[in-house]
Chains A and B, each alone.
Chain A
């Protein structure tokens, strides 16, 4: 069939006519996809690490007086469990606490048997909800502290807020940079379209005069921009895969020695497809914008 081959040839001609703007569009699309992908992958890696750290995060509520029925329906454990942001509460009686300490110390815990009385107070071990942000965690600590019979609340939570800030900054910075590159790619797509259209204006005027439909005249210009942006997106995707775990056999040493990075986790396939489509869509939007101008 000739029409597809005509459109394909006209598209390739358009790519050649776009000149230096064509490789620029490929480069900018690749960088936009790579930057967005690396940001999302790094965020995914941090989210995984954070989930691990969060799983072992406990708020230890030291009790002066646990009351007569600490695990009863009106007891301190139930009241702690009712607070917002609490995933689980475990009451640890003094004798259980001593037994756990003895187990922890092993042979070095012989001295515990010689103590005249159990010095350990009762306590609650509170597991915060995994989605609780730093501000919510602070509010939970304060609420636990206000419960009756509480001496103090111990929580190794100093890392939560800086990590949140790091993730937020990385997302805003990385995705902002990707968006900037995307806008530049869009402008390059529009530029490539305009350049190719101007270079082929003689042909277009001849074809228009013999009655070639406008859509057929416009299709190669649009395909050219989408194709170039698509090639850039695939290039960016390839680089992203090389920087991820599947590419690690080839790039792990290089990544560690030059950038000091471990391979990133591979993004889910629908994210990768979305990034590639978004990259190619930059070409489409750029070409359509140039067509309207």
Chain B
């Protein structure tokens, strides 16, 4: 489903200014699998996800989604590939002037769903994350945990085959965090492949997926204690 093959990603030119964010990253996430990448802030987790979405290209190596190398895709095919992803980015990228429901229907209608279909799917997605009662609230009227769940709902409303969740529990209290973890587990249980990043080892354990430890841009061998 998703594969990193010897991926390097760096910024800056010249040996002195060059910063390597990801170093020789190789791993695979199989269809239906839940993989959790754990690492401290600055470990390269968000960069890793941006390589999957094609927002950035690796300096070396290849990222493959469903066997297709993301870095080689032209705009049209990149957009098609992105339609198979559900991205719950850090910060949410929620549209401040649209309600919770509007955030979802806007995306679905732009993707070509009919108005009624978009509304039905959005309502179902909101209900699925427990936000049915606040569907008309604007993002700033929601609690942090609700905003995270709204971000997940938007990612799931497009019925992705691969869910990418970037630190979905960051900044949440334990109860909110547990609710988000439970939500991701239920998504995974429905057969959606998931790649989740987190700084919290406790969240990684709670997700009950395969844990990959990332530090300073390098993956630790699986089973190696942090």
What is the interface of chain A, defined by CB distance below 8 A to chain B?
A: 1-3, 5-6, 10, 202-203, 205-214, 216
Contact = CB atoms under 8 A, between A and B. Distances in A.
Contact of B158 (A3, A10, A210): A210
Contacts of B117: 2
Given A1-B114, A6-B109, A211 B81 contact: yes
B207 interface: no
B33 to A, nearest CB: 22
B111 interface: yes
A5 B76 contact: no
Given A211-B79, A211-B82, A212-B79, 11 more contacts: A2-B113, A2-B115, A2-B117, A2-B118, A208-B79, A210-B82, A210-B85, A210-B111, A211-B84, A211-B158, A213-B76
Nearest to B84: A211
B8 to A, nearest CB: 24
Given A2-B109, A6-B109, A203-B106, A209 B55 contact: yes
Interface string B129-159: 0000000000000000000000000000010
Interface stretch (B14-22, B87-95, B189-197, B208-216): B87-95
A5 B83 CA distance: 21
A3 B110 CA distance: 7
Given A1-B114, A2-B115, A212-B110, A202 B82 contact: no
A3 B89 contact: no
Interface string B57-83: 000000000000000000110011111
Contacts of A216: 110
A14 B202 CA distance: 46
A10 B95 CA distance: 14
Contact of A207 (B53, B55, B110, B118): B110
A199 B95 CA distance: 12
Contacts, number: 62
Given A206-B93, A206-B95, A214 B109 contact: no
Most chain A Cβ neighbours within 10 Å, of B83, B111, B115, B117:
B111
B107 interface: yes
Contacts of B110: 6, 10, 207, 210, 212, 216
A209 B115 contact: no
A211 B115 contact: no
B158 A2 contact: no
Contact of A210 (B55, B87, B96): B87
A199 to B, nearest CB: 11
B112 interface: yes
Question: A-B pairs with the 5 shortest C-beta distances?
Answer: A211-B82, A211-B83, A211-B79, A2-B114, A6-B109
A11 B1 CA distance: 37
Contacts of A1: 114
A203 B95 contact: yes
Interface in B95-134: 95-96, 106-107, 109-115, 117-118
Nearest to A200: B95
B55 A5 contact: no
Contacts of A207: 107, 110
A64 B111 CA distance: 91
B90 to A, nearest CB: 13
Contacts of A203: 95, 106
27 contacts: A2-B114, A2-B115, A5-B115, A203-B95, A203-B106, A206-B93, A207-B110, A208-B79, A209-B53, A209-B55, A209-B87, A209-B89, A209-B93, A210-B83, A210-B85, A210-B111, A211-B79, A211-B80, A211-B82, A211-B83, A211-B85, A211-B111, A212-B107, A212-B111, A213-B79, A214-B76, A216-B110
